Amino acid sequence: MYRKILVGYDGSASARKAFDEALKLAKLHRAELLVLTVSRPLEIGDEVETEAIVENSRSYHRKLLEELESAVSGNTLKVSYEVAIGHPAQQIIYRADAFGADLIVVGDRGRSTFARLLLGSVSKHVVQYADRPVLVVR
C-alpha cells in the first residue's frame, strides 16, 4: 500500500502517461501525490543572466503543472505541485526522500537502446539510484 507517491513531470507525452498512472494509483491507495517538475538551467552567463533564465524556466514549469490541475479537480486526494531547479534525476530522488515517498513514478522517453546507453536517461538514473520502488511508465 502506498501512502505517498511522487511523479516526475516534464510536459512530454510519456510524462503525462506517468502522471495518469500515478493519479490512478493515488486514488486506489488514497495516497498523497506530489507532482514534481525540474528545471535544468544552462550553466552560462553571469549571475544576473542566470537568475533571469531560472525565473523564466520556473514560470514555464509552473504553467506545465497548471495543465494537470484540471485532471485532479473534484478529487479528495491531497495533491501538491513543485518546481525544482537542478538535474532532474537528482532532484526527483532528493524530493522523494524529503517527501517520504513510497513510490516514484516517471515516464520513459522511448529512446532506442543505443541512445539510452550512449546518453543515459532520467528514468534510468532514478531506477539506478533511488532506494525505493520506481515505476517507469511507457
Q: What is the pLDDT of residues 99-128, one digit of tens each?
A: 999 999 999 875 555 545 544 588 989 999
**CB-count burial class (<10 Å; 0-12, 13-18, 19+) for 119:** exposed
Mean predicted confidence (pLDDT) in 24-46 = 85
Q: What pLDDT, on a 0 to 100 scale, did the predictor assign at position 117?
A: 52
Q: Are 20 and 9 in contact (CB under 8 A)?
A: no
Global pTM?
A: 0.83
pLDDT 10s digits, 41-74: 666 555 656 676 777 777 777 888 888 887 777 7
Domains of the chain: 4-137 (3.40.50.620)
d(CA 46, CA 96): 31
If you write DSSP's letter for every residue of the chain in order, what string do you get? --SEEEEE--SSHHHHHHHHHHHHHHHHHT-EEEEEEEE---S-S-HHHHHHHHHHHHHHHHHHHHHHHHHHTT----EEEEEEES-HHHHHHHHHHHHT-SEEEEE-----HHHHHHH--HHHHHHHH-SS-EEEE-
Burial of 61 (0-12, 13-18, 19+ CB in 10 A): buried
